[in-house]
């Protein structure tokens, strides 16, 4: 709901979600705010489940690469996808968003970030969890958007992600007996290590979680921050 409020959603607006995951944001926005949502992902499994979740709603789920987008939208959002774009493609990503965003409209980028600019991720995470991913820095994001977007709001709530990860860890182990038929003991240890190590990185403020709101340079947007 916080994302929808930050985007100032109104009935009838068209919304693009780049990297839509399993479709939960699409479902929520369409049901509560009565907007038309297009969600794209490169995962066939996510497309299948997201379409099932959003059946009967004004939602379109596409199997599509963001670089192939052409149509313009009233607002654009991307949650947890920018970490998989790669530093060499940050500027390209921002340019695609710019081309697809109508004037005087908003773009919200939700991403985990790091305190330093890097060009690779932790080797263990890269091998076992998120291959070829990396965490952007403030400098990398602002450099990619410079001259294209105006920064309207930068919200950091990484402290809360520690609590989220610990809740996931608790739920995972609480329900292990129900799901262990599909996974082995090695996976259980790996997943616990992943969740706990990530929680520790947020607790130590090594990693951050950002929601950044942009508008086009030159657009007539009077933005008030939402918390």
Q: Please list the active-site residues.
A: 198
Q: What is the DSSP string of the chain?
A: -HHHHHTT--TT-EEEEES-TTSHHHHHHHHHH--EEEEEES-HHHHHHHHHHTTTSSEEEEE--GGG----EEEEEEES-GGGT-GGGHHHHHHHHHHHEEEEEEEEEEEEEESS--SS--HHHHHHT-TT----BHHHHHHHHTTTEEEEEEEE-HHHHHHHHHHHHHHHHHTHHHHGGGS-HHHHHHHHHHHHHHHHHHHTTSEEEEEEEEEETT---------
Round to whole Å and give the CA distance between 49 and 58: 16
SS (H, E, C) 80-137: CCHHHCCHHHHHHHHHHHHHHEEEEEEEEEEEEEECCCCCCCCHHHHHHCCCCCCCCE
């Amino acid at each position: 709901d916080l994302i929808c409020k930050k985007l100032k959603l109104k009935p009838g607006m068209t919304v693009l979600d780049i990297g839509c995951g399993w479709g939960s944001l699409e479902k929520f926005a369409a049901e509560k705010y009565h907007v038309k949502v297009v969600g794209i992902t490169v995962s066939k499994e996510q497309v299948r489940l997201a379409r099932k979740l959003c059946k009967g709603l004004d939602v379109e789920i596409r199997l599509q690469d963001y670089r192939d987008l052409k149509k313009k939208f009233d607002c654009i959002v991307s949650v947890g996808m920018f970490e998989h774009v790669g530093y060499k493609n940050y500027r390209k990503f921002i340019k695609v968003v710019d081309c697809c965003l109508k004037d005087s409209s908003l773009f919200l980028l939700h991403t985990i970030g790091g305190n330093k600019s890097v060009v690779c991720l932790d080797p263990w995470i890269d091998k076992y969890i998120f291959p070829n991913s990396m965490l952007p820095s403030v400098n990398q994001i602002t450099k990619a958007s410079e001259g294209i977007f105006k920064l309207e709001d930068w919200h950091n709530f990484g402290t809360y992600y520690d609590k989220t990860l610990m809740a996931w860890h608790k739920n995972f182990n609480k329900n292990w007996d129900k799901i262990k038929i599909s996974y082995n003991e090695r996976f259980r240890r790996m997943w616990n290590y992943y969740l706990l190590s990530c929680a520790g990185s947020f607790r130590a403020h090594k990693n951050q979680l950002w929601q950044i709101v942009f508008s086009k340079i030159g657009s007539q947007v009077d933005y008030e921050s939402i918390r």
